[in-house]
Amino acid sequence: MERKRTDDGEPGPVPTHVPVDRFGFLKQEHGSSPKTRSSTEYEREERRVRKWRKMIGVGGSDWKHYVRRKPHVVKRRIRKGIPDCLRGLVWQLISGSRDLLLINPGVYEQLVIYETSASELDIIRDISRTFPSHVFFQKRHGPGQRSLYNVLKAYSVYDRDVGYVQGMGFLAGLLLLYMSEEDAFWLVVALLKGAVHAPMEGLYQAGLPLVQQYLSQFELLVKEQMPKLGEHFTQEMINPSMYASQWFITVFSYSFPFPLALRIWDVFLYEGVKIVFKVGLALLKYCHDDLVKLPFEKLIHALRNFPEDAMDPDTLLPLAYSIKVSKRLEELKHEDEKNNGKPAQPAKPQ
């Protein structure tokens, strides 16, 4: 099981006396027990892993060549879900973080050991709130909490303009379950600085400017794609900041079921932030008929507690993929830049 990691990034043992799921989270006492996988499913998974290994090459050596030759195959396979045993490596390849690591030898160690950060006390205060039900992060001052502290502290020094904001812990924590500290740090850098997609740092800067922009775009998309629900939200004075901020700030890693969050992250790292819009819209679409009947209090509760069937990746994600948002988001971005007097930037090629 590629879950719990030691300080050098190698998998460490999960204590056997603690009942955990296959991802290392403590099992809920009364939760429904997961279905055991049949031998056919195991064989299918083995075939998938072999296909992926062939596509990646040793240590990722064939990846760029394969993506250039067969981008549609890569996109389709990523949308079906990256095999869990290969996730850490593939995430580094598709995010551009592996390249950043290779051209910055020794930088992470310098940041962790020799620099001090104004955010150290804030990071220490928040660490126990990050994935508190995962065995890797449970022990106070244990290897998980230490690694998380190091990554967040290093980033707060690396980019003093952003420093540290609480939601960043969930990004770093998720990555640390799949890779070493140094690898996780460079993936955070790749995301916030925009190695492949639009930079995410605006989600964490003072005033959270990118969060405001995304929420206002999301509100418009809801009104355009689901006018009845959009009208109901207006009547009940519901706006996306009441339920969707964490979707963008943590890319669904804060409160969503872990298997779903992982599948979203697979696509997010390859296709960019549009998947956050698509998944959010898919959730509202899936629950549309119930949501339009609810008054304010019940509506708020429903938007923060979606039913279990809506959270099934095999149900929700195909619906999300069918929703088209790229062109409209580009138009809204250009309108926003025009209104703010900024030059419109051409979209990065995907």
pLDDT digits (tens, 9 = 90+) for 131-166: 999 999 998 889 999 999 999 999 999 999 999 998
Instruction: Give me the sign of the Cα torsion angle 138, 141, 143, 149.
Output: positive
Report the SS3 class of residue 27: coil
Predicted local confidence at residue 349, as pLDDT: 37
Bridge partner list, 11: 5
CA separation for the pair 190, 175 (Å, rounded): 12
Report the SS3 class of residue 229: helix
Q: Is the pLDDT of residue 266 over 50?
A: yes
- What residues have CB less than 8 Å from 175, skipping those under 6 apart? 91, 151, 183, 184, 187, 188
12: left (phi over 0), alpha (psi -120 to 50) or beta: beta
Predicted local confidence at residue 18, as pLDDT: 64
Instruction: Give me the sign of the Cα torsion angle 164, 167, 173, 178.
Output: negative
Q: Is the pLDDT of residue 324 over 90?
A: yes
Q: Is the pLDDT of residue 55 over 80?
A: yes
Q: Is the pLDDT of residue 37 over 60?
A: yes
- The domain made up of 1-29+83-196 has a fold known as Helicase, Ruva Protein; domain 3 (1.10.8)
Q: Where are the alpha helices (DSSP H) in 250-307?
A: 258-271, 274-286, 288-291, 296-304
Numbered ranges of CATH 1.10.8.270 in the chain: 1-29+83-196
Among all chains, which residue has been given the structure tokens 């990691």? Answer: 5
Q: State which CATH number among 3.40.190.10, 1.10.274.10, 2.60.40.1180, 1.10.472.80 fits the domain covering 209-339.
A: 1.10.472.80
Q: Is the pLDDT of residue 113 over 90?
A: yes
| pLDDT band of 304, cuts 50, 70, 90 | very high
Q: What is the per-residue burial (b if ≥16 Cβ within 10 Å, else e) of 151-173?
A: bbbbbbbbbeebbbbbbbbbbbb
Numbered ranges of CATH 1.10.472.80 in the chain: 209-339
179 phi, psi to nearest 5 deg = -160, 170
Predicted local confidence at residue 336, as pLDDT: 78
User: How confident is the model over 80-93, as a mean pLDDT?
Assistant: 96
Cβ neighbours, 10 Å, residue 25: 18
Q: Is the pLDDT of residue 346 over 90?
A: no
Report the SS3 class of residue 350: coil
Q: pLDDT tens digits, residue range 161-196?
A: 999 998 999 999 999 999 999 999 999 999 999 999
